Structure 1
Amino acid sequence: MRNGQNKTADFIFITGMSGAGRSTALKVFEDLGYVVIDNLPQYLFSYIQSGALAGKLQLPLVIGVDVRTLTQQVDSFLCTLKDLRQTYKVKLLYLECQDDVLLKRYNISRHRHPYGQKTLEEGIHYERVSLAPLNEAADHVIDTSLVSVITLGRVLKNIFVRSTSPKLQIRLISFSYRKGLPSDADIVWDARFLENPHYEESLKHLTGQDEFVAKFLLQDPLWHRIFHLLEETLGPTLAGFKNSGRSYLTIACGCTGGQHRSVFMVEQLAEFLEKNGEEVMVEHRELSR
């Protein structure tokens, strides 16, 4: 893996060996908040700079470059990069991969190599020779031979993350066990250990969003012990999800009716997470019905 010193780029071009993970990389950049264009025909490259200068392109911009676009035009593409660099910060990312790994990937996917008129081995060799000047000119070269999708995402985020890149979006949802668990929940916490306000006549018709219900549940001796454990659990849990490349996480809290305890737990979690700078969405499933 070869990395150049990275600065916030206006243009990031992604190319490399077919099967090395360009499509995966482009999805990572989308999650980072970049505008992404894939397979831009080379005859349009000459319009990129004029479009940017005219304010018709939203920067920063990530452009995926297919090998078929570059056939016999590698020198022209490098000239385009040189011209752009006179005005903009441009980075070239090259994804490398070993021949034997590429062969396995093609045999598994059954996809046809871009140089389909040749054998698979010949196509890979011809492509490698054709793209050698781009490999040499690249600001970042990442060999994906032994890199998982998750690891590739981490590497790219470490290099190209921006201050404006979206944070991990955390969705908190309260629900009733009687009506089933949310199908998209990543983590489920049970709030039924708490005293049930439903059996208090003055609280029965209120919800976990109401002050009197909150005061009642905060007096439960179990609440503070359990919530302290949840706070300690959330730190490493969120760090792990962020490092894995996840862009969203759904945490569901349930109780019997989905009116009091689960709603209260979600509200408490939301307050704690927002104080710690997390991006939170709150949904009370049963209250919205």
Structure 2
Amino acid sequence: MTQKKLNVDLIFVTGMSGAGRSTTLKVLEDIGYAVIDNLPAFLFPEFLKGIKAGHVQLPLVVGFELRSFAGCATKTMEMIASIRDGIVVRLLFLECQDDILIKRYNVSRHRHPLGSKTLLEGIQRERALLAPVVNYADHIIDTSFVTSMTLTRILNNIFAQENSPNLEIRLMSFSYRHGIPPDADIVLDARFLENPFYEESLRPLTGKDEAVVEFLNNDYAWQTVYRSIQQMLIPTIYGFKKSGRSYLTIAAGCTGGQHRSVFMIEQLSDFLTSLGEKIITEHRELYPS
């Protein structure tokens, strides 16, 4: 039996500077949360009052640096705890090892926000400041050896809601004469099919017309290749979903972008729609922007 996801109303994100707060907020925004970052300490009490009164739209993610609360970490955590009765609240703490943080700062060439004499000293001061927060955290993620893709998967597993956006698949036909779409993730070549252009009755039609569809379906190579494409796409789309990807562009091209590529995209649209996927279909050469 599949466990029903618990929809989270409000997520507070904090932790070590350099541990990946910006990346985390972006992932959560893609999942479907509104995002507020760097909420000033003086606004925090009024913000919580607005939450209690129902004046703030949820679900929401709030990112903040506890150093701006001037050592009042425990009091801040108690304020967060005070709103847990009415809504589902989660506190996410991002952890990272000192040596990894030093490497990240050296690569980015950013100064540590505490402005200490040495980078390590700043990191250690911040760690001491945040120590009381760890006990209040609902989730602790150590990003020391976590790639952005893995972090996306972790956050999706924890925080994706029942109504979070699914993978959106954009299908596009195009003409090789006018170039491959630069944003295509997967490119399929339909030029192996017999070209309807050389049939006088089919030349003015498109790959959406029944006569062209019948002509291309009768090409002996089509069904074999089509089955191979289906077998390739099912695990590929599953992998993109697991990685937390919110969109995928699949393009199919032929010489003129009128017959074979349009036919292929329409066939793929029917197939993926039958699997319950969210599809957007475009024919670049038929309806140029």
TM-score after normalising by structure 1: 0.95
Measured after TM superposition, the shift of residue 70 of structure 1 is: 2.8
Structure 2 equivalent of residue 102 of structure 1 = 101
Deviations 1:28-83 (A, max 9, x none): 10110111110011222222343234443221110001233233121221121111
Please show how residues 204-283 of structure 1 align to structure 2 within 5 Å.
204-283=203-282
SS at match of 2:135: helix
Cα distance in 2 for residues equivalent to 1:159 and 1:128: 25
Please show how residues 1-289 of structure 1 align to structure 2 within 5 Å.
7-289=6-288
Q: How large is the Cα RMSD of the aligned pairs?
A: 1.3
Deviations 1:96-116 (A, max 9, x none): 001111111111111111100
SS at match of 2:101: helix
Deviations 1:218-270 (A, max 9, x none): 11111111111111000111112122222111111000100000001001101
AA of the residue aligned to 2:200: E
CA contact (8 A) 1:174 1:285 kept: yes
AA of the residue aligned to 2:153: R
SS at match of 1:250: strand
Residue identity (%)? 58
CA contact (8 A) 2:52 2:83 kept: no
Deviations 1:162-209 (A, max 9, x none): 111111111111001111111111111000111111111111101011
CA contact (8 A) 1:67 1:114 kept: no
SS at match of 2:82: helix
SS at match of 1:84: coil
Stretches of structure 2 lacking an aligned partner (at least 5 in a row): none
Cα distance in 2 for residues equivalent to 1:7 and 1:204: 55
CA contact (8 A) 1:9 1:60 kept: yes
TM-score after normalising by structure 2: 0.95
SS at match of 2:144: coil
Cα distance in 1 for residues equivalent to 2:54 and 2:206: 51
AA of the residue aligned to 2:134: N
Cα distance in 1 for residues equivalent to 2:7 and 2:178: 48
Measured after TM superposition, the shift of residue 13 of structure 1 is: 0.3
CA contact (8 A) 1:11 1:61 kept: yes
SS at match of 1:167: coil
Structure 2 equivalent of residue 3 of structure 1 = none
Cα distance in 2 for residues equivalent to 1:55 and 1:207: 54
Cα distance in 2 for residues equivalent to 1:71 and 1:239: 46
Cα distance in 2 for residues equivalent to 1:22 and 1:88: 23
Q: How many residues align?
A: 284
Cα distance in 2 for residues equivalent to 1:272 and 1:131: 51
Cα distance in 2 for residues equivalent to 1:10 and 1:95: 19
* Greater mean alpha carbon deviation, residues 236-245 or residues 250-259: 236-245
SS at match of 1:206: coil
SS at match of 2:285: coil
